Amino acid sequence: MTAPAESTPHRTYTERRAAAQARLAVLDRVSARYANLRGLTFLGAAGIAGLTGFGKLPKPYWWAVVGAIVFYAVLAVLHHYVFRREARERLYVTLNERGLARLSGAWREFMDRGERFLSSSHLYTPDLDVFGQASLFQLLNETATKAGEERLASWLSSSASAEEVVARQGAAQELAPLVAFRQDVCVEARVVSREKADPSHFIQWAEAGPSLDSIRWSRPLAIILPPITLTLYVLGQFSVVPGWVWWLGLFVQLGIAMATLRTLREMEAKMSAGEEGFVRYAPLFARVEGQEVRHPLLQRLQSGLQRPGEPRVSAHFHRFSRLYSWVEFKRHQFHPLVHLFTLWDIHALFALENWRAKHGKEVRRWFEALAELEALSCLAGFAHDRPAFVWPALVTEGPRVEAKELGHPLLDSPVPNDVSLPGPRHALLITGSNMSGKTTLMRAVGANVVLALAGAPVCAREFTLSPLQVLTSMRVKDSLERGVSYFYAEVQRIKAVLDAAQAAKGQSLFLLDEILLGTNTRERQIASREVLRLLLGTGACGAVTTHDLSLAALADEPGAHVVNVHFRDHLEGEKMVFDYKLRTGVVDTTNALRVLRMAGVPVTEAEPST
pLDDT averaged over 10-residue windows placed end to end, the chain, 610 residues: 60 96 96 94 92 87 90 92 93 96 94 92 94 96 92 95 95 96 92 76 85 92 93 88 89 94 88 69 88 93 75 88 86 86 93 91 91 96 96 93 96 94 93 83 96 97 96 71 63 91 94 76 77 91 84 73 85 71 79 56 55
What per-residue confidence (pLDDT) applies to 530? 86
Spatial separation of the C-alpha atoms in residues 434 and 440, rounded to whole Å = 12
What per-residue confidence (pLDDT) applies to 109? 94
pTM of the model: 0.87
Contact 476, 486 (CB under 8 A): yes
Spatial separation of the C-alpha atoms in residues 294 and 10, rounded to whole Å = 27
Q: How confident is the model over 58-75, as pLDDT tens digits?
A: 888 889 998 999 999 999
Residues in the chain: 610
Find the angle CA(602)-CA(607)-CA(610) to the nearest 5 degrees.
Answer: 125
Contact 434, 567 (CB under 8 A): no
Give every CB contact of residue 212 below 8 A, 6+ residues apart in sequence.
263, 264, 267, 349, 350, 353
Check: CATH 3.50.50.60 for 393-598? no
Give every CB contact of residue 298 below 8 A, 6+ residues apart in sequence.
171, 174, 175, 373, 376
DSSP letter for each residue of 476-512: ---BTTTTB-HHHHHHHHHHHHHHHHHHTTT-EEEEE
Spatial separation of the C-alpha atoms in residues 147 and 370, rounded to whole Å = 8
What per-residue confidence (pLDDT) applies to 495? 92
Spatial separation of the C-alpha atoms in residues 590 and 596, rounded to whole Å = 12
Closest CA to 582 of 430, 401, 427, 424: 430
Spatial separation of the C-alpha atoms in residues 200 and 154, rounded to whole Å = 16
How many C-beta atoms lie closer than 10 Å to residue 307's C-beta?
Answer: 12
Helix/strand/coil for 404 = strand
Handedness of CA 406, 409, 410, 413 (dihedral sign): positive
